[in-house]
Structure 1
Amino acid sequence: MNDLQQYFDSIQPRYYINEIASLGFTRLFRKMAVQKVKNYRDKRVLDLMSGQGENLEFLKDHNENTKIVTLDFSSAMNMKLFSTFKKKLTINQIQDDFFKNQIPDRSMDIILCSYGTKTIEENNKKFFVDELSRIIDEKGEIMIVEFVKPKTPWRFSCVKWYIEVLVSKIFGNEFGKLFHYINKNDSLEDMREQFNHNGLFIISHKRYLDLVEILHVKRN
């Protein structure tokens, strides 16, 4: 078990604090991203770095033929996801490191990844995008939403103070660690370029509040 796995296992009982500390913005942009995909009916859906399954409540127009696979390396997160959705959705849960995944080629119609890419090391980003490009099927859509480092100096200073000082003081230092990952994540531009290089079509790539980016990609 690596340090990140231990961190997420330990923080799971208080993970709801992320929603509070973000003033609702994580939920807002998660919903916006997931619902850019208009129809989940009869689709094969991969919720990547799925956490507690926060994306799943926003799936639009899904049915009994919607096949959902979740992948996360945290056992605590997986257990919480199972307890929340076991009576609502049929889910195939995979507890594994994505970089060791054995998901077949072209086996998914939709891939969702919310707030998970900022922890990926720079030298692994190309492999990450290449794997998503391998897994997504024809006409399939990939949706990534992530916190990014603000470009505007005053916004950067405000975010740094808010997370490292205020959030840490109120909720604990473990929640202040978020800024470390935001600070090294300039944008999703490098992923966008790699998807483009792999022959996928960029439907949209937008930055909101100089803090969150949503990247929407499709295989033609």
Structure 2
Amino acid sequence: MALVSERFSCLDPDGRDEGLEAARLALRDGGLVVMPTDTVYGIAADAFDPAAVARLLAAKGRGRHMPPPVLVASNSTLDALASSVEPYVHTLTDALWPGPLTVICRQQESLTWDLGETRGTVAIRMPDDETARELLRRTGPLAVSSANLTGHPAATTIDEAEQQLGESVAVYLDGGPAGSGVPSTIVDCTGEHPRIVRMGAITADRFTELGVEVG
């Protein structure tokens, strides 16, 4: 891993493209990247590289019992990662992706990854941030957790993320202040009826508007 982190501004086209390519290469080589999202800044690793995911958890001071979600660039990736997807899941994602909704589904048994102690599930989200989605289009699914040390506030600026994570991260992508600063709503979709695990930017009333009753 690089001993000195690189930082790129994604607020202008040239810096953004240079930063995205540097991030792609770092992730390919097993490094960690801090990226903007529509909620808070995230720390990312290649979801299919177990050693990189372990580095992500170590950088945050987090154990395997708290596996990171996986971010994707398109709705169609959901069915590639999840199995036995209930119809209501597509109702939610069709309406609320990209956006601050994380769905926990049963993972495809054929997936060769190790995100931690997931008990055969995977938490999936598509962020409403163009820089994040462009990086995901270049890399494929990424394991992404909030860019902070466990127990500390989630970073809403690149400076906050860098102060907490330092040189454990190879590339920092500065997209300006994070979108809402409010984390995503997490919904357990492994059963016949969905259940809210963490209330975030999307309220239960929004689910009701879509005709989906959640517990």
Whether TM exceeds 0.5 here: the answer is no
TM-score (norm 2): 0.31
Q: Relative to total residues, which structure has the larger helix share, 1 or 2?
A: 1
> What TM-score do you get using the length of structure 1 for normalisation?
0.31
